[in-house]
Copies of this chain bind each other. A is one copy, B any other.
Amino acid sequence: MDRDTAEAQVLQTANALFYERGIQAVGMDAIRDAAGVSLKRLYQLFPAKDELVEACLRERDRGVRNTLDRFTANAATPRDRVLAIFDWLDEWFREPDFRGCGFINAFGELGPSSPRVTAAVHDQKVWLHQHIGELVRMANGPDWLADQLFILANGAMVTASILGSAEPARQARTAAEHLLEAADVANTP
C-alpha cells in the first residue's frame, strides 16, 4: 500500500475508533488491525500516538468545515444561513452512531495531559465561533449574537449526547430564532 493511501486509511480508521470507543481505549494494535497497515508504517507516519490523535482531530476538523459549509451554502436568506447551523446539528444528532462532539470528548479525556489535543480542540472551536460570527455578520446581526449561538450549539452537542436524544437540536434552533428576533435580524435575502 502506498504511503498516502495508508495515511488516509489510518486517519479514517483511527478517527472512527477514537470516536466510537474513546481515545485511550483504542490501542495502536487495534488501529493497525483495523487500518490494515503495519506498526512500522504506522509509526513512520505518526511517530507517537499523541501526534496521530492530533492529526485525527485536524482531519475531523476539515470534515466538519466541509459539512457545515455545504449546509449553510444552500440557504435562501442570511437568516436561514444562520439557522442552518442547527439543521446541521439535527441531522448529525440523528446519525445512529452519534456519540457527541469528538472535540469536546477528546478535550474532556486528554485536555489536562496533552497540549496537542488541547490546541487542536481549541482551534476547531475558535473556527466554529468565527464561522458563526461571519454568518451572523452577513445577516447584519451583532457580535454578541454569534457568541450566544456558539454557546447554544455547543450546549446542544453535549446535551444530545448525554441525554441520548436529537431533541436538543430543535430546541436550540427555536432558541436561536428567539435570539435572532431579539437582535432584530429580519428574514430578508
Hey, which bits of chain A sit against chain B, CB under 8 A? 20-22, 24-25, 99-100, 103-113, 121-122, 125-126, 129, 144, 147-148, 150-159, 161-163, 167-168, 171-172, 174-175, 178-179, 181-182
Contacts and interface: CB of A to CB of B under 8 A. Distances in A.
B163 A159 contact: no
A47 B167 CA distance: 38
A107 B161 contact: yes
Nearest to A167: B147
Nearest to A24: B24
Contacts of A111: 22, 99-100, 105, 161
A149 to B, nearest CB: 9
B155 A175 contact: no
Contacts of A21: 112-113
The interface centre, meaning the residue of A113, A122, A148, A182 with most chain B CB atoms within 10 A of its CB, is: A148
Given A108-B107, A148-B172, A155-B156, A122 B162 contact: yes
A99 B161 CA distance: 20
A181 B174 CA distance: 14
A126 B24 CA distance: 27
Contact of A122 (B100, B129, B148, B163): B163
A147 B125 contact: no
Contact of A172 (B107, B125, B151): B151
5 contacts: A122-B163, A147-B171, A151-B156, A151-B168, A154-B159
A112 to B, nearest CB: 5
A71 to B, nearest CB: 19
